[in-house]
Structure 1
Amino acid sequence: MTNREQSDNKFGRKAIQVEEAQARLMNYAGAMEAETVPLEQSLGRYLAESIAAPHPFPAFNRSGMDGYAVVASDTENSRDGGMVWLKVVDNIPCGAVPAGAIIPGTAARIMTGAQVPEGADAVVMLEVTETRDLDGIPHVGVRKPIPSGRNITPLGYELKQGEQVLAAGHKIAAGDIAVLAAFGVHDVPVIRRPRVGVFATGSELLDVKEPLQPGKIRNSNSPMLEALVREAGGEPVMLGAIADELELARSKVHSALETLDLVITTGGVSVGDYDIMGDLVREEAGDMLFNKIAMRPGSVTTAAVRGGKLLLALSGNPGACFVGFQLFARPVIASMQGASESFLPEWTVVLGKDYPKVNNYFRFVRGRLEVRGGSIYAYPAAIDESSVMVTIKDSDCLIIVPPEERGLSAGAKVRAIILP
């Protein structure tokens, strides 16, 4: 029996697949309650309910040109090169209401975006007209016929009253804000952002502001997780770093779970003598969801439920912490906001260079994407060890390398998870 197998037996570890681990977490990732926020604060939030159009859009027949609103049949007489003269009876700027209907033989000067008057069924663009006064009355001359409906956006062309504008669970982007504003939705129903506690364990950790000391490292995982939680839409609550003391960790975790919606830790989940998070989760084994996943990096990722709330313990290795967040924490945070799609998108891409490593588990390799010759290529990071931090900043995807492969050659089709 190998040392790893002995350790796994000691810690009661039994590896489950990534999809199974995700499913177990999502069972406890129900949406938070709804709240209402001002439109200007809704960017990046998830809609709590579907939004229907309170009125048609546009709400009137709208001119698509600067020109003249006319009765299209009046222009037929210009078909053979003649000029049709129409009496101008109105001038309609944007925001104005037409003075009256247009009848055969008349026209109205109109601006782009203005309301087309009743009776008019086309707008002649200004460039193909002439103007003159006849007996002191302004007239417009039309040089060629125009079909009915030309240069008019009809009432309800984009959306009819009662049609769905945005679906519940939709993440609001800039274009959505424009649409909501156009319909007068100034207060937006969204799901509350989850409050996510983040702390690191390890007696070796220094604060970012502290000078480097022999045998110590600065705590880079906590700031990274803070940024990742914000990026995922959560509200991070930073709980600092604690030494490898079980009682202190227990107190901190219990306190956080009482007041927060989710707790994420980094470090202390391996099989060493000072890996306290593994010990802490095993204290209440009935609440443990898993403590080993058939993946690299981050196989020791651990999760438990305490008081109906999730505790997710990620590896202390930076690369494994980053990958574990993307695969497990991000979808949980999205689901807690009512997202219609919680998981990151997955594409089929072309492997840009050889990947020679042999894998017993699925491996999630940090990589970068490049578009070349109409195809998307993914290039594995030069250094992708679990403990390596620097390549995180250069990665925009996770290349999925299946197990039992004897290495992959450049040009192979592979799946890749696309990072935000």
Structure 2
Amino acid sequence: MQRNQDLDKDKFQRRALQVKEAQARVTKYAKLLDAEFVPLSQSCGRYLVETVIAPHPFPAFNRSGMDGYALIAADIEGCSSDNIIWLQVVDNIPCGAVPSVEIRTGTSARIMTGAQVPGGADTVVMLEVTETRETDGITYVGIRKAQAAGRNITPLGFELGPDEPVLAAGTLISAGDIAVLAAFGVHTVKVHRRPKIGIFATGTELLEVHEPLQPGKIRNSNSPMLEALVREAGGEPVMLGAIVDDLELARSKVQMAMETYDFVITTGGVSVGDYDVMGDLVREQSTEMLFNKVTMRPGSVTTAAVRGGKLLLALSGNPGACFVGFHLFARPVIGLMQGSLYPYLPEWTATLGEDYSKVNNYTRFVRARLEIRGGALFAYPASIDESSVMVTIKDSNCLIIVPPEQRGLTAGAKVTVIKLPGEIEG
């Protein structure tokens, strides 16, 4: 890896990296976290440590798919409405019960949906094509429609056989996965620990959210946004507040955070101004800088460094750049720390819904809105996409990737988008 002395010799030592290279540098330090056991009810949104193997076949018995009668298909060959075949009913099998007798030629069993099919039976006839009668205290069922063997029975092991993989290591557990785990009796789940992420902002101009506005000040909106984004990515955010533009204070805060938490994210103080303390901090000899400029808009000043094996990601104080930088660099790291199989957000192809005329020398990640129109996917760029603009973040569910060689795009062009978490209007 290139160390600090390999960077340019000017004050800010900025040498721009391509986004992919910058991502590779930060994800190298995404250390897989320890495992822990959690109750099944608390496992949704967690990542499996080990592949779960089926301890038994599923279903564990031949299961009825209908309310009706279990019988032998050969016994009802040739039956019809005009030629009803009558079979003796020898058992009644509700769900959860074990059949008491085996079915033989000329007999049947009343059975409920989901119940265990008795031995000897090879088909279940639905209730609607039957009728019953009682003669000398014996119940008979009349079948008026022939049916092949195997109908309305889910055979033992149809879904999974014993020792087959149920869920792969690295799976992000969803509601459906929980249903499967519960079906196999997995009541505690081995998952990776959620990373604890220290978050703080820098800037003398920042006010807390609850404080009234003051001349020249702004409320700290980036920290609450990062808190939500970390939770969305599966991490545990730890809010460390905001600090004024003071290098010593920032140094002590960063040192404490990096000794305490798995990953530290800051916002603000990474530009080239006189009070951009994070830029100064990552140039110190105690810190190994990974990069401090990326060929992207917004957020070209995004900075990453390592201290004591822990990763520090310094995002721009501009809300739009902070938002984009998190998704490109922080989210993959948080996912990899938990063993995610798919740490990066998916890239899709969409049709551009409106012209986009802005030209850049760097790759631009344009906040945009995905919509489904006539079964096709369209991306509509935000009306205002400046780095400092915050309001359009809430309306964005994707980022349009505009390469530097594109000198403007016209509506109808095919574009690559990064799908952000959230719904799509249809």
Q: AA paired with 1:246? A: L
1:4-153 paired onto structure 2 within 5 Å? 9-78=10-79, 81-153=82-154
CA distance in 2, matches of 1:319, 1:397: 13
In the TM superposition, structure 1's runs of 4+ consecutive aligned residues that sit over 2 Å from their partners are: 7-10
Q: Which residue of 2 aligns with 1:417?
A: 418
CA distance in 2, matches of 1:180, 1:310: 34
Q: Which residue of 2 aligns with 1:371?
A: 372
Following superposition, the deviation at residue 19 of structure 1 comes to 0.3
Following superposition, the deviation at residue 10 of structure 1 comes to 2.9
Following superposition, the deviation at residue 80 of structure 1 comes to 8.6
Following superposition, the deviation at residue 149 of structure 1 comes to 0.4
Are residue 347 (structure 1) and residue 348 (structure 2) matched?
Answer: yes
1:398-409 paired onto structure 2 within 5 Å? 398-409=399-410
Task: Judge which range, 386-395 or 399-408, deviates more.
Answer: 399-408
Are residue 169 (structure 1) and residue 164 (structure 2) matched?
Answer: no
CA distance in 2, matches of 1:394, 1:320: 15
Q: Helix, strand or coil for the counterpart of 1:78?
A: coil
CA distance in 1, matches of 2:286, 2:355: 42
> Which structure 1 segments of 5+ residues have no match?
1-6
CA distance in 2, matches of 1:188, 1:136: 53
Q: AA paired with 2:308? A: G
> CA offsets per residue over residues 160-189 of structure 1, 9 Å max, x none?
111111100000011111111111100000
Q: Helix, strand or coil for the counterpart of 1:127?
A: helix
Q: Which residue of 1 aligns with 2:394?
A: 393
Q: Helix, strand or coil for the counterpart of 2:358?
A: strand
What TM-score results when the alignment is normalised by the length of structure 2? 0.96
Following superposition, the deviation at residue 28 of structure 1 comes to 0.5
CA distance in 1, matches of 2:106, 2:286: 87
Q: AA paired with 1:45? A: R
CA distance in 2, matches of 1:16, 1:285: 22
Q: Helix, strand or coil for the counterpart of 1:158?
A: coil
1:169-208 paired onto structure 2 within 5 Å? 169-208=170-209
Q: Which residue of 2 aligns with 1:270?
A: 271
CA distance in 1, matches of 2:313, 2:412: 37
Following superposition, the deviation at residue 284 of structure 1 comes to 2.3
Q: Helix, strand or coil for the counterpart of 1:10?
A: coil
What's the Cα RMSD here?
Answer: 1.2
Following superposition, the deviation at residue 286 of structure 1 comes to 6.2
Contact 1:8 1:14 in 2 (8 A): no
Following superposition, the deviation at residue 133 of structure 1 comes to 1.3
Q: Helix, strand or coil for the counterpart of 2:109?
A: strand
Q: Helix, strand or coil for the counterpart of 2:214?
A: coil
1:213-292 paired onto structure 2 within 5 Å? 213-284=214-285, 287-292=288-293
CA distance in 2, matches of 1:10, 1:279: 9
Percent of counterpart pairs with the same letter?
Answer: 74
Q: Which residue of 2 aligns with 1:298?
A: 299
CA distance in 2, matches of 1:284, 1:84: 91
CA distance in 2, matches of 1:15, 1:77: 81
CA distance in 1, matches of 2:328, 2:181: 32
Contact 1:42 1:172 in 2 (8 A): yes
The 1:293–1:285 alpha-carbon spacing in structure 2 relative to 1, beyond 3 Å, is: farther
Tell me the matched-pair count: 414
Q: AA paired with 2:206? A: L
Following superposition, the deviation at residue 342 of structure 1 comes to 0.3
Are residue 338 (structure 1) and residue 339 (structure 2) matched?
Answer: yes
Following superposition, the deviation at residue 30 of structure 1 comes to 2.2
Following superposition, the deviation at residue 81 of structure 1 comes to 3.9
Q: AA paired with 1:24? A: R
Contact 1:81 1:144 in 2 (8 A): no
> Which structure 2 segments of 5+ residues have no match?
1-7, 422-426
CA distance in 2, matches of 1:333, 1:307: 18
Q: AA paired with 1:370? A: E
Contact 1:100 1:117 in 2 (8 A): yes
Contact 1:90 1:98 in 2 (8 A): yes
Task: Judge which range, 401-410 or 118-127, deviates more.
Answer: 401-410
Q: Helix, strand or coil for the counterpart of 1:406?
A: coil
> CA offsets per residue over residues 173-224 of structure 1, 9 Å max, x none?
1111111111110000000000000000000000011110000000000000
Q: AA paired with 2:284? A: E
Q: AA paired with 1:382? A: S
> CA offsets per residue over residues 383-420 of structure 1, 9 Å max, x none?
00000000000000000001032210011111000001
CA distance in 2, matches of 1:214, 1:404: 42
Q: Which residue of 1 aligns with 2:327?
A: 326
> CA offsets per residue over residues 272-304 of structure 1, 9 Å max, x none?
000000000001276100000000000000000
Q: AA paired with 1:403? A: P
Q: AA paired with 1:76? A: E
Contact 2:287 2:307 in 1 (8 A): no
Q: AA paired with 1:348? A: T
Q: Helix, strand or coil for the counterpart of 1:60?
A: coil
Following superposition, the deviation at residue 136 of structure 1 comes to 2.0
CA distance in 1, matches of 2:224, 2:81: 75
